Amino acid sequence: MIVGLGNPGPEYARNRHNIGFQVVDLFAERHRLKFDKAQKRARVALGHVALTAPAAPWRGRVLLVKPITFMNASGEAVGPLAKFYKVAAADILVVFDDLDLPVGRLRLRPDGGSSGQKGVKSIIQSLGVEAFPRLRVGIGRPPGQMDPADYVLQGFSAAQEEEMAFVRIKAADAIETWLAQGVVAAMNKFNVT
């Protein structure tokens, strides 16, 4: 189960806060999966993925999830879907934005707290555990005295957007490595300083 975090609606589509949706959309496009079903307060895409190099050969069924609950209530979709599909927390990868990472930096972890990210906090509460992998995508800190809540709801600057086009590809590659080789291999490859 691969969960992208974001806010539903076209007005939020290119916001920094929606990088999780953007990455999962790219992954779906790569593997010809369609978000053609609404289930448990989410848009879902279910299908088989076959991977070859560079990730490693792997074939399996994946469930892609984009909660439509708005970011801060993401657990209201993720928990019920995990229960319905009988997916263990360790087999759920959550992709989301992180203010504390520089723009474009990726950071995979096998578990951990919410680090103040309210969507992740909601998922932790819904699953009842912190032990699920996560892929954090750096969006940087807001400039000056700007409110972080306003910052995450803005789009990337033109220069940042150019960089983020490559970062989305790299994040989709990280998902493939996680699927084929596990979280440790993905961390070793993508948690570059």
Would you please indicate which residues are annotated as catalytic (active-site) residues?
Answer: 17
* 8 A C-beta contact, residue 132 and residue 123: yes
Look at residue 96 and give its three-state secondary structure: strand
Q: Look-up: residue for tokens 């150019």?
A: 162
Torsion angle in degrees (nearest 10) through CA of 123, 114, 154, 70: 20
**How far, in Å, CA of 27 to CA of 173, rounded?**
8
